[in-house]
Amino acid sequence: MTVHAIWYAPIFGWLLLVSAWARRAPFLWASVPLVAVGIVEKIAFNTSYFGELLLNRIGGGPESSSFTSSAIAMDGMTTITPWAYLFSPGLWIGLAFTAACLAGAVRLRRVRGPI
């Protein structure tokens, strides 16, 4: 459960930041920029790295859904390697992004005060 909470933390941080910023329709404001970045990337560079990054983060990613070294672990006796997950750069970049989103959300909520 901790692994999933840490892996999905950037998504929760982004949603919290947008909910602090948007006065109306926060889910719309949270999803439209992500879709727009994906569309602009596809038109400008003919790539889909951002979309793959989002799908990997939302889908859990093959390397993050289990602690195994293989993509899909069907065997119950598979060797557990939590260090590979804990030292992955994607995890730490995501946690840094989460910290930035949380700091932004706290700052926005303090500036705006109670409504």
Q: Which of 113, 109, 12 is closest to 58 using CA atoms?
A: 12
Measuring CA to CA, which residue among 98, 72, 105, 69 is closest to residue 8?
A: 98
pLDDT at residue 47, rounded to an integer? 87
pLDDT in tens, 67-93: 444 455 555 555 657 777 778 888 888
Q: Give pLDDT, residue 106.
A: 93
Q: Spell out, as residue ranges, where the chain has pLDDT lower than 50.
A: 62, 64-70
pTM (two decimals): 0.73
Domain parsing of the chain, residue ranges: 2-69+77-112
Predicted pLDDT of residue 115: 60
